[in-house]
């Protein structure tokens, strides 16, 4: 499968076969098959808005593979503030590196960058639109834990209306034979557009407002945060956020094997006491981001064939 010079912009552009291949290579990277994968490569990490976690994950992935990186952590001191267009910034930097990782506050920025870049572009988040490496590391983690994705019962929990992560994950899971449980307050249900996509893909999905009836069925509980600003009434938020907080009590309504995932950073939607349980795999999930990003950078730069 040829990934050299492929842009990684949106889950929409990535086929099931490509996802499977990325997961296979990520597992090999994790097993140590490709030391110094990015030796003699220069990667640009262009963060037009700050996202410390994503940036550190990419920069660690590059450094741990023997590569170098150039770039910026926010747009405050860069040429952007002086009125340069995104296309001009990319046209310049494309001559300095072997691949570009871009994070931008506006939706569509990564695709615009890819239009003018001579080197491959990886989207590290464009506004509320896409964050494909997050979805790929989620799938990798699921596949690693269960040895498969087909046949699993997966619960998406919390804010399913505004959560970019769960939208993108649901689109990718639509490639598989999974059962999806969409657990959210009525106000924050999955938008009909994504449900339509699941329907067309033949993925059975079930909407619930609590874990009570279905918690024991789940192989995975994917937790996202309810944001205060989504609620008009602060009292409503207080009431709701309590029932969407994962505590040691919540674990009682889950099966013994239900793995708990979260895209991080978390605020208070999972209490720290839960971290010590074997089924809490969110930090492991974040660490897997390194291998998946190493694999992707290796593939798009042609370092891995």
Partner 1 sequence: MSTERAYKVFKIENGTVIDHIKSPLALKIIEILHLQNNGIISIGMNFDSDKTAKKDIIKVENVYLSKTETDLIALFSPTATINIIKNGEVIEKRLLEMPDFVFSILKCPNPTCITNHFHDCDTKFEIFKVNEKTTNARCVFCERETPVVPEMIK
Residue closer to partner 1 by CB (options 192, 276) is 192
Minimum gap (Å) between residue 127 Cβ and partner 1: 5
Does residue 105 bind partner 1 (CB under 8 A)?
A: yes
Q: Could you tell me the CA-to-CA distances from 194 to 169, 179, 191, 219 in Å, in that order? A: 10, 15, 6, 22
Q: What stretch of H or E contains 126? A: strand 121-126
Does residue 87 bind partner 1 (CB under 8 A)?
A: yes
Bond preceding residue 265 cis, omega within 30 of 0: yes
Binding residues for partner 1 restricted to 114-173, rule: CB under 8 A: 126-130
Using H for helix, E for strand and C for coil, what is the string for 34-78?
A: CCCCCCCCEEEEEECCCCHHHHHHHHHHHHHCCCEEEEECCCCCC
Binding segment toward partner 1, per CB under 8 A, in 80-88, 246-254, 256-264, 272-280: 80-88
CA nearest 22: which of 135, 98, 113?
135
Does residue 106 bind partner 1 (CB under 8 A)?
A: yes
Q: Choosing from 6, 55, 98, 103, which is the catalytic residue?
A: 103
Minimum gap (Å) between residue 112 Cβ and partner 1: 5
CA nearest 292: which of 21, 11, 108?
21
164 is catalytic: no
Number of residues in contact with partner 1 under rule CB under 8 A: 20
Q: Choosing from 98, 131, 262, 293, which is the catalytic residue?
A: 131
Does residue 112 bind partner 1 (CB under 8 A)?
A: yes
Identify the residue among 7, 10, 54, 123 touching partner 1 (CB under 8 A).
10
Binding segment toward partner 1, per CB under 8 A, in 53-61, 109-117, 201-209, 279-287: 109-117
245 is catalytic: no
| Cβ pair 16, 281 in contact under 8 A | no
Q: 224: helix, coil or strand?
A: coil
103 is catalytic: yes
Does residue 36 bind partner 1 (CB under 8 A)?
A: no
With a CB cutoff of 8 Å and minimum separation 6, the contacts of 240 are 185, 187, 226, 231
Q: Choosing from 6, 30, 45, 54, which is the catalytic residue?
A: 54
- Catalytic positions are 53-54, 82, 103, 131
Name the site residues for partner 1 (rule: CB under 8 A): 10, 12, 85-88, 104-109, 111-112, 126-130, 193
């Amino acid at each position: 499968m040829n990934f050299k010079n492929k842009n990684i912009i949106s889950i929409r552009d990535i086929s099931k076969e490509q996802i499977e291949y990325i997961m296979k290579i990520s597992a090999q990277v994790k097993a140590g098959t490709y030391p110094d994968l990015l030796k003699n490569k220069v990667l640009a990490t262009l963060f037009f808005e700050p996202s410390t976690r994503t940036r550190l994950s990419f920069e660690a992935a590059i450094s741990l593979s023997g590569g170098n990186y150039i770039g910026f952590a926010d747009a405050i001191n860069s040429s952007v503030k002086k009125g340069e267009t995104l296309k001009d910034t990319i046209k310049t930097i494309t001559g300095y590196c072997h691949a570009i990782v871009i994070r931008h506050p506006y939706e569509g920025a990564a695709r615009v960058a890819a239009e003018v870049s001579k080197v491959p572009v990886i989207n590290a988040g464009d506004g509320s639109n896409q964050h494909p490496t997050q979805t790929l590391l989620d799938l990798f983690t699921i596949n690693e834990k269960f040895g498969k994705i087909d046949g699993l019962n997966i619960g998406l929990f919390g804010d399913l209306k505004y959560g970019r992560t769960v939208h993108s994950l649901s689109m990718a899971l639509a490639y598989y034979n999974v059962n999806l449980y969409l657990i959210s307050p009525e106000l924050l249900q999955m938008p009909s557009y994504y449900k339509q996509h699941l329907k067309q893909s033949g993925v059975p999905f079930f909407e619930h407002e609590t874990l009570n009836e279905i918690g024991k069925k789940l192989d995975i509980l994917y937790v996202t945060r309810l944001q205060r600003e989504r609620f008009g009434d602060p009292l409503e938020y207080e009431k709701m956020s309590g029932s969407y907080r994962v505590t040691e009590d919540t674990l009682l309504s889950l099966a013994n094997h239900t793995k708990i995932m979260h895209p991080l950073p978390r605020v208070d939607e999972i209490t720290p006491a839960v971290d010590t349980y074997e089924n809490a795999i969110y930090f492991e999930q974040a660490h897997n981001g390194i291998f998946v990003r190493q694999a992707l950078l290796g593939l798009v730069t042609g370092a891995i064939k």
